Amino acid sequence: MRRRPARRPTMKDIARRAGVSESAVSFALNDRPGVSDATRERVRRVAEQLGWRPSTAARALSGEGAATVGLVLARPARTLGVESFFLQLLSGVQETLVGHGLGLLFQVVEDLDAECAVHRRWWAEHRVDGLLVVDPRDGDPRPALLAELGLPAVIVGAPAAPVPPGAPISTVWADDTGAMASVVDHLHHLGHRRITHIAGLPELSHTRRRIDSLRTEAARRGLTHAVSLPTDYSDAQGAEATRRALSARRPPTAIVYDNDVMAVAGLAVAAERGLAVPADLSIVAWDDSALCRNTHPTLTALTRDTPAFGRHAAHHLITLLAGDPPTSTQDTVPRLTQRSSTSAPPVTPH
């Protein structure tokens, strides 16, 4: 049976043990006037007994020390080499952290079990003062673990299950459901009735929301040929899924890709099969990037300010570290930027 780690002692624990108010504990531990010498000594003795240590994050935010924020990415490293989303997200996170004197500890692991192990180790070793958590998923064990550890955290994305009550965990998320609806609306307006979604990892909450949104929007419009094919986000699997889709008895006239890398791979597969984009096949990429703007034809894509998304996530973590209550914030919905890769579908004989 796995031994649960002991929770880090807090000022509330010290106040309860010493029989004083939390403000008195703060005065005593920060060597401020407002308590007697006897109370100051008692509080410090109790703090020592409980193993309390001052938060380096709080010290950094007041200009008295340095603190570190952790981020663990549980994805196969091979899928990250050319994907721009995380690089842009991290650039925004780093920009905000540096401005507040905070460092970033980043690690890539193979799966969720490994990520949870890293969180436990960082907590036990006092390596980080807070965490940014990405890729929420169905049955996600991380919110419960972070609540158990008492580590302030911001989940980037909408969790599939509620955050444990009382946990110092905020969420920052974008509306994937609404974004997919805007894509389907655009393609349907152009005349497309057979739409394939080359999706990302199926266990991720945002992938599931995109898949569900496609089904809902297709049903609302009477589209019977709207399907999602999961991948690992890589160009190789994106290309393979595109080949399968185009080999179907009734192939799609439009394909939506869950990232820019797969969309470019799909464009190459279309050329390989002698299909013109957009005359024979329309293509939409989820994450806009330089890749989308520099292909021929240029790719219609969902655009958002990803560095700003990272800055917002880091800002919400900083407010948690400063003692503010957790929040749940919807960020800007990605907007569809229409370029040359989408048009009306080819006319087929009845």
The alpha-helical segments, DSSP class H, found in 100-233 are 112-124, 142-149, 176-190, 205-221
Residues 71 and 90: their CA atoms lie apart, in Å, by 9
Q: Residue 140: which pLDDT band, with cuts at 50, 70 and 90? A: very high
Residue 7 has pLDDT above 90, yes or no: no
Residue 267 has pLDDT above 70, yes or no: yes
Residues 6+ apart with CB under 8 A from 189: none
Cα-Cα-Cα-Cα dihedral sign, residues 269, 272, 277, 280:
negative
pLDDT digits (tens, 9 = 90+) for 287-328: 899 999 999 999 999 999 999 999 999 999 999 988 889 999
Q: Quickly count: other Cβ atoms within 10 Å of residue 274's Cβ.
A: 7
Domain borders along the chain are: 65-174+307-333, 176-303
Structure tokens at 264: 């470019």
Specify whether the CB–CB gap between 107 and 77 falls below 8 A: no
CATH node for 176-303: 3.40.50.2300
pLDDT digits (tens, 9 = 90+) for 39-53: 989 988 888 888 766
Q: Which helix (H) or strand (E) holds 104?
A: strand 102-109
pLDDT digits (tens, 9 = 90+) for 75-108: 876 666 566 888 899 999 999 999 988 999 999 9
Residue 243 has pLDDT above 90, yes or no: yes
Task: Classify 63 as helix, strand or coil.
Answer: coil
Residue of 296, 295, 282, 288 lying closest to 189 (CA atoms): 282
Fold annotation for 65-174+307-333: Rossmann fold (3.40.50)
CA 314 vs. chain centroid, Å, equals 12
Structure tokens at 151: 């580590």
Structure tokens at 92: 């925004």
Do 65-174+307-333 and 176-303 come out as alike in CATH topology?
yes
Specify whether the CB–CB gap between 83 and 234 falls below 8 A: no
Q: What pLDDT does 183 receive?
A: 98
Burial 303-317, CB ≥16 within 10 A → b, else e: bbebbbbbbbbbbbb
Residues 6+ apart with CB under 8 A from 296: none
Tell me the pTM.
Answer: 0.80
Q: Residue 55: which pLDDT band, with cuts at 50, 70 and 90? A: low
Residues 334 and 93: their CA atoms lie apart, in Å, by 19
Residues 130 and 69: their CA atoms lie apart, in Å, by 5
Please, what is the Cα angle at 318 between 314 and 320, to 5 degrees? 120
Please, what is the Cα angle at 287 between 285 and 289, to 5 degrees? 100
The CA-atom distances, in angstroms, between 146 and each of 50, 106, 119, 123, 126 are 21, 17, 8, 10, 14
Residues 59 and 35: their CA atoms lie apart, in Å, by 21
